[in-house]
Amino acid sequence: MQKRTFIKNLMIATAGSTILDPFYIFGSSPKPKNWIWARPNTSWKEDDWKRKLTKAKESGIDALLLEIYNGTDTYYEGGQLPMKANVTDLVLPICKSLGLEFHAWMWTMPCNAQEIISAHPDWFAYNGLGQPAHTHPAYVNYYKFLCPCHPEVREFITKNVASLAQINEIDGIHLDYVRLPDVILADGLQPTYHILQDKEYPQYDYSYSPHCRAAFKAISGIDPLIDLKEPSTHQEWMQFRRDSITSLVNDLLVPEAKNTINKLRPQFFPIGKVCDRNGTSGTLMDFYLCCTTIFTTRTSILSKSILKGNSQASEFQTCLQWSFYTFSGI
């Protein structure tokens, strides 16, 4: 197969991507890396992985983001949820032999494990109608997001990062879904779900869980579900929820990762703002890399965000990743 054809197929089959680094664009950083996201194919043998990853390396790929924790199963030893297959021990040595970086891709806030749902229904986020995410997920069935204010949830997610950080020779941990559900979907996605969101609707607005409401009332005297007529527009309540994600990562996950590998990467979901401290995803900037997936045809948003990010170069070392969002294997 010709290299050009392989790269085209690779980008269709996985999340083939090239970093768009604002510092590189303006001539102040090294050449960006090429990455791929991939879900673990448990039917592939060692020779299959070796052949496909060799082609990836020869085609200019520098790093693999492999999904080894998806909120339901794990694909490595030592996790808190059942291990479906130990794909990590199979793939990691191959990556190292080829000179490919290996990054553990994990789901952060969603949890679809039935044992967790059954044992801890109080762990889940609630929408603005008072409905928990494990019984009323937004948009798709797997949007069963956990409550970022629940102490046991914060401990559970921290242990997920800790178990990944113990894997020898990994180059980093990639935090996916490090946010609450999207209160407004990207405009490129709304037609997919046959919805039009012209404002923030309560069934998509999270988290109104008892723990988040109690924590906010303790500092403000306000119960957002009872005391506010339009809680989604209340700036302090909005910022509190963003900060609950930020503090989880900066205060718990970053220190845990730094104990071993010192590399943690969030993925951002751009809806009008990309890698902005006050962005929709409850952003955090204690990382040297932000991976963002583009679900909109409005590329002007990306361009403006890159320029804005560059103006803050002294504070944030931010990279933007433009990638395709399909995961069928390499």
Q: Encode pLDDT of 191-220 as tens digits.
A: 988 999 999 999 999 999 999 999 999 999
Mean pLDDT across 321-325: 30
**For residues 293 and 37, is the Cβ–Cβ distance under 8 A?**
no
Report the relative pairing of strands 34-38 and 15-20 from DSSP bridges: antiparallel
272, pLDDT greater than 50: no
Number of domains observed in the structure of the chain? 1
What is the model's pLDDT at position 26? Answer: 42
Residue 101 belongs to some domain of the structure = yes
Residue type, 166: Q
Residue pLDDT, tens place only, 70-103: 999 999 999 999 999 999 999 999 999 999 999 9
Question: Which of residues 168 and 123 earns the better pLDDT score?
Answer: 123
Residue type, 64: L
Band of pLDDT at residue 113, cut at 50, 70 and 90: very high
What is the model's pLDDT at position 300? Answer: 45
Residue whose C-alpha is closest to residue 122's, from 150, 161, 95: 150
DSSP state of 105: E
Phi-psi category of residue 202: left, alpha or beta, with phi > 0 → left and psi -120 to 50 → alpha: alpha
Residue 128 belongs to some domain of the structure = no
Question: Which of residues 241 and 313 earns the better pLDDT score?
Answer: 241
Residue whose C-alpha is closest to residue 163's, from 74, 40, 52: 74
235, pLDDT greater than 80: yes
Mean pLDDT across 130-142: 96
What is the model's pLDDT at position 100? Answer: 96
Residue pLDDT, tens place only, 282-316: 333 333 334 444 444 444 444 454 444 444 333 32
Residue 319 belongs to some domain of the structure = yes
Average model confidence (pLDDT) across the chain: 77
What is the model's pLDDT at position 279? Answer: 32
Residue 147 belongs to some domain of the structure = yes
Domain coverage including residue 246 = 3-120+141-187+235-323
Residue 200 belongs to some domain of the structure = no
Torsional sign, CA 20, 327, 268, 293 = positive
Residue 146 belongs to some domain of the structure = yes
Residue whose C-alpha is closest to residue 94's, from 125, 120, 128, 57: 57
Taking the CB of residue 101, how many other CB atoms lie within 10 A of it? Answer: 17
Query: Token pair of 317, please?
Result: 């070392």
Residue whose C-alpha is closest to residue 38's, from 16, 18, 60: 16
Question: Going by C-beta distance under 8 Å and a sequence separation of 6 or more, which residues neighbour residue 14?
Answer: 36, 37, 38, 324, 326, 327, 328, 329, 330
Band of pLDDT at residue 264, cut at 50, 70 and 90: low
Q: Cα–Cα distance between 112 and 95 in angstroms, integer?
A: 29
Residue whose C-alpha is closest to residue 276's, from 249, 301, 248: 301
Task: Tell me what percent of the residues of the chain surpass a pLDDT of 70.
Answer: 69
Residue in this structure with the two tokens 């113990």, named with its chain if needed: 166
Q: Cα–Cα distance between 109 and 158 in angstroms, integer?
A: 11
Phi-psi category of residue 282: left, alpha or beta, with phi > 0 → left and psi -120 to 50 → alpha: left
Residue 299 belongs to some domain of the structure = yes
- Output the domain CATH number for residue 30: 3.20.20.80
What is the model's pLDDT at position 189? Answer: 86
Residue in this structure with the two tokens 């991507």, named with its chain if needed: 17
Residue in this structure with the two tokens 């990836």, named with its chain if needed: 56
Band of pLDDT at residue 168, cut at 50, 70 and 90: confident
22, pLDDT greater than 60: no
325, pLDDT greater than 60: no
Task: State residue 30 phi and psi, 5-degree precision.
Answer: -65, 170
271, pLDDT greater than 90: no
Q: Cα–Cα distance between 152 and 330 in angstroms, integer?
A: 36
Residue 212 belongs to some domain of the structure = no
